[in-house]
């Protein structure tokens, strides 16, 4: 279930920080839309606060709880079928780097492995989950022979696995943990591609002095675009539309002298 809050601050950064603190979320957990840009005015006269809208996904309390057995509950099977319906592209295998992080085996890691093992069994894919930890973030690397099936078209299946895992593991916990799921270094490659797209689009916006709307992306991918262009002169970014067709607009913003 998508929810949103609107927050004001002296500037955009302050408003965003206040909103994230209120939600207890990180920047890449929300979709950002700048409703009003802050203005300082002259000697404080005529100043206008910035206003932002933060959209986030809240758990649906009516969703069936997944049992603690290796096999996932029926509600999981339905979502997995939907995830597998997305077109699948075979990813070129990349040489795995030597792991340096130590594998963790605490209760969260065990819950992750237990849930994903049952999930992969239902999907008919042989894969294992390697779990490491960085603070409150659990990094999960999926390993196996057919990772293309778990990555899916532009990472759609990988995103579904990450979302399902986070929901199941965090349900009923007083302290929320973040779960990041990757396979064959897909996330890093996709992020680099998005950063190149962002800068290429920004150059066109400045050259032709017109806004360009990018294709629909998920919240994390939109965050990559926003972050890549936040310090680029002559452009600004904002999101428009509703999920799953929410898009990032790279707008022409001439600098005032």
pTM, two decimal places: 0.55
Tokens linked to 44? 């404080």
Fold for domain 1-58? Dodecin subunit-like (3.30.1660)
The pLDDT > 70 percentage for the chain reads 77
User: Which pLDDT band, with edges at 50, 70 and 90, does 1 fall under?
Assistant: low
Q: Does domain 186-257 have CATH number 3.30.1370.50?
A: yes
Q: Which residues contact 9 (CB under 8 A, 6 or more apart)?
A: 15, 16, 17, 18, 38, 49, 50, 52
Grade residue 191 by pLDDT with cuts at 50, 70 and 90: very high
Q: What is the pLDDT of residues 40-66, one digit of tens each?
A: 655 556 667 888 888 877 654 433 333
CATH topology classification for 74-184: GMP Synthetase; Chain A, domain 3 (3.30.300)
Instruction: Please compute the mean of the pLDDT values over residues 173-186 and round it to a whole number.
Output: 92
Q: What is the pLDDT of residue 99?
A: 45
At residue 135 the predicted structure's pLDDT band, cuts being 50, 70 and 90, is confident
pLDDT of residue 100: 52
Chain-centre distance for alpha carbon 171: 19
């Amino acid at each position: 279930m998508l929810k949103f809050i609107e927050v004001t601050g002296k500037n955009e950064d302050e408003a965003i920080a206040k909103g994230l603190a209120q939600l207890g979320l990180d920047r890449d957990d929300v979709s950002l839309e700048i409703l009003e840009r802050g203005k300082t005015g002259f000697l404080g006269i005529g100043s206008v606060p910035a206003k932002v809208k933060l959209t986030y996904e809240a758990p649906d309390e009516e969703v069936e709880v997944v049992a603690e057995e290796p096999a996932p509950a029926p509600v999981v099977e339905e979502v997995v079928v939907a995830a597998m319906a997305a077109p699948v592209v075979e990813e070129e295998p990349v040489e795995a780097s030597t792991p340096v992080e130590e594998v963790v085996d605490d209760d969260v890691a065990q819950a992750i492995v237990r849930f994903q093992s049952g999930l992969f069994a239902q999907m008919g894919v042989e894969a294992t989950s390697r779990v490491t930890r960085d603070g409150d973030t659990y990094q999960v690397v999926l390993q196996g022979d057919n990772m293309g099936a778990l990555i899916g078209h532009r990472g759609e299946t990988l995103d579904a696995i990450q979302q399902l895992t986070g929901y199941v593991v965090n349900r009923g916990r007083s302290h929320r943990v973040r779960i990041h799921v990757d396979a064959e270094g897909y996330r890093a490659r996709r992020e680099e591609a998005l950063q190149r797209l962002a800068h290429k689009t920004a150059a066109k916006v400045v050259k032709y002095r017109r806004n360009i709307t990018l294709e629909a992306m998920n919240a994390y991918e939109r965050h990559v675009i926003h972050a890549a262009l936040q310090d680029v002169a002559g452009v600004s970014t904002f999101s428009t539309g509703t999920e799953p067709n929410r898009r990032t607009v790279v707008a022409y913003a001439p600098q005032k002298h």
